[in-house]
Structure 1
């Protein structure tokens, strides 16, 4: 049998009808122009005195793909907060250029009575102290000394009869052996000047201390220089560069080429090769099957003997001699 293509009126009619009836499946556009992460990570975090905050921080309007998992901000009563090792801190200042946070424990912002009887422990893989500091030891459930001391307070502790509490400079406090609970809080060393009573102690703790977050800023700089937006690969647990015309750059930069020290761009427009998705491939094959069925049905209707061959790329229509 010899496959032939014939320009008969009937054949053209069949092909025309098939072209009209077959595309019942609408293929999704194969395009990378719309990028959800790129758009969402363009939203900046603003809360109180903190404005214009972006990577490496995520927040309510900045999903987890927009920042390091250990640097998630929240806004409560117009005050920015951050969780570090399950302890909440108020973010007093944030210098993104120097990568320095000034934080203070939220539970000790008003008075030394707290239910969070935990040491102030940082995630040392992500943070380090940025300036000189000194630890204060808070002691709870202590017996009364019978004399007034500068840093004494009264706080009930669940399950403990003794209510007296004390604060001592440094760690390894002499009174710790007589008290039920103790924990350490760092404070800025310069703030210790004129520290004499409990009122100043509360102010001292409220002023917080500085930490530096250890995130590679160079990778983000390269991404921004290529007109990308910095983010986080949640699955791969690593830095990601989101581009306007593709889901994420395989490298740290987008398709635009950076030239010159000033960070200017080449005139070549960014390009991206986007492969069809699995759903698009299946829909395309289904479309071809519908074409195949329509042609067969019409051949029977017109009583025409056709040889119709369906391949991965084409539908061949030939007359059978």
Structure 2
């Protein structure tokens, strides 16, 4: 009597044989997996998830992280304000260093915007930086008890309103009596600055050139774009992205197809997998479906 073959073993053998004879086999559904595994560059700066643009499809990133590239300078728009990305994003800490593009070459932008970003997507409070306040359209500003205020003055013509005195101050150093005088200024904005730079702006010898240097050095933001979901996806050998039809939803792109959370939907903690775990049912179905369409 001949031994009876295990049907599961037969299935696995057939699939493995298919893989061996069709090494270039790819389902159409695996295209996002291949595409989202490729980074993009603007100038010398390289980007992966959650960033997209520059030829990287929207489904490979988070909808709020679209990039453009201008003269090899990567630009990111947050809350209607355009920022320059200064160095490669640090994926180990999810941090990015940016600088205000409208304040890059002048302290007198055409339009005044506060430095703002969605606090559900970015955290900018834990990186040793402080706000600097810029006051525009100030006239007859003579606050009592504040010596050498002229050291923090610069001329500015904002949006054709005429040249007037403008001032920069370390925000935390603005005392109440000083603030009462600043109400004479037409507008003000705040910009985060690295603490190593902001210290120099409190010196009585600080100049507008020092202010420009501090602004161009930029500040750090930490992104929070489906971090937990993306971490699980990556640990299951997937690639992070967003749902192509509902961009607000996270998607995990896998070699075997697309899933809402993780590839294989198991073993995301990096624990050892058995042979049956490795030959996942989704992979088997995907491969058989591909082979039948060729």
Give TM-score, length-normalised by structure 1.
0.66
Unaligned runs of 5+ in 1: 1-30, 281-321
Q: 2:200 aligns with which of 189, 194, 198?
A: 194
Matched, 1:228 2:238: yes
Matched, 1:81 2:75: yes
Distance 1:260 1:64 in 2: 29
Question: Closer, same or farther in 2 for the Cα pair 1:74/1:158, shift >3 Å?
Answer: closer
Identify the residue that residue 139 of structure 2 maps to in structure 1.
143
Question: Closer, same or farther in 2 for the Cα pair 1:159/1:133, shift >3 Å?
Answer: same
**Partner SS for 2:213:** helix
Distance 1:273 1:262 in 2: 23
Post-superposition CA distance 1:196-245 (Å, at most 9, x none)? 22111110011111111113434223323433221112516221011234
Identify the residue that residue 252 of structure 1 maps to in structure 2.
262
Of 208-217 and 219-228, the range deviating more from structure 2 = 219-228
Q: 2:37 aligns with which of 39, 42, 57?
A: 42
**Partner SS for 2:86:** strand
Contact 1:141/1:165, CA 8 A, preserved across alignment: yes
Unaligned runs of 5+ in 2: 1-25, 143-147
**Partner SS for 1:194:** helix
How far the C-alpha of 1:255 sits from its partner, in A, is: 7.4
Identify the residue that residue 170 of structure 1 maps to in structure 2.
171
Of 114-123 and 167-176, the range deviating more from structure 2 = 167-176
Q: 2:249 aligns with which of 231, 235, 238?
A: 238
Post-superposition CA distance 1:97-137 (Å, at most 9, x none)? 10011111001011201023011112111111231222111
> Whose helix fraction is larger, Structure 1's or Structure 2's?
2
Post-superposition CA distance 1:52-87 (Å, at most 9, x none)? x21111122112111111222222211222111110
Question: Closer, same or farther in 2 for the Cα pair 1:159/1:77, shift >3 Å?
Answer: closer
How far the C-alpha of 1:162 sits from its partner, in A, is: 4.9
Identify the residue that residue 70 of structure 1 maps to in structure 2.
64
**Partner SS for 1:185:** strand
How many residue pairs match? The answer is 245
Question: Closer, same or farther in 2 for the Cα pair 1:66/1:73, shift >3 Å?
Answer: same
Of 188-197 and 261-270, the range deviating more from structure 2 = 261-270
How far the C-alpha of 1:175 sits from its partner, in A, is: 4.2
Alignment of 1:278-297 (within 5 A): none
Q: 1:203 aligns with which of 213, 216, 227?
A: 213
Structure of higher CA gyration radius: 1
Give TM-score, length-normalised by structure 2.
0.72
Question: Closer, same or farther in 2 for the Cα pair 1:152/1:58, shift >3 Å?
Answer: same
